[in-house]
Amino acid sequence: MLIGRKFFEYEQANRRIHEIEQKEVEYMIQKEKYLNEQEIEKSNIAQLQAQPINDDIRIELALCKQRIFLLQKDLDRLEEKWREESLIFMQEKYDLEQKINEFKTIIPNQHWKIYQRIKETKENPVVEVKHQMCTGCFMPLSQTNLNQWRRGKDLVLCEVCDRILA
């Protein structure tokens, strides 16, 4: 159970790092979207200015400038929010990476090999035990397997789905 629990915490830390990296990608996509929309509006302004000026053109120019202003405000808000969140995310990511490195030194190599083998075939190689059942396949554990898991001295695998029990 103890080694299984370490693997479970390792998996959770990796998932959280992935979530943090995904937030960064989402921020970059949103920022790029605002910048592209601004460029489109600037292009529209250039096209309108090339035409003979009349009231309709003046109104359209004013609307384009207003959209650029609003897009810039949205972009400024997005960047401010990211500045606040990114420091927290980077610290959390650093802490999680330290925790992962700690797990890599604590868990024996033979257990890492088993983990890697299972991870190649299963999306969730480490699962919890709830109500004396494996939460990977939802089959009850044998009494022998359950006792080994409770002792927590060694890595215990589900006899049905071959996942690590945490």
pLDDT digits (tens, 9 = 90+) for 20-70: 999 999 999 999 999 999 999 999 999 999 999 899 999 999 999 999 999
Q: d(Cα 134, Cα 78) in Å, to the nearest integer?
A: 43
pLDDT digits (tens, 9 = 90+) for 65-122: 999 999 999 999 999 999 999 999 999 999 999 999 999 998 999 999 999 999 999 9
Find out whether 125 and 119 touch, Cβ atoms under 8 Å: yes
Write down the pLDDT at residue 153.
79
Percent of the chain with pLDDT over 70: 99
Find out whether 157 and 4 touch, Cβ atoms under 8 Å: no
- The domain spans of the chain are 1-107, 108-166
Helices 2-49 and 109-121, interaxial angle, to 10°?
50
Q: d(Cα 132, Cα 140) in Å, to the nearest integer?
A: 6
Mean pLDDT of the chain: 93
Q: Is residue 1 very low, low, confident or very high in pLDDT (cuts 50, 70, 90)?
A: low
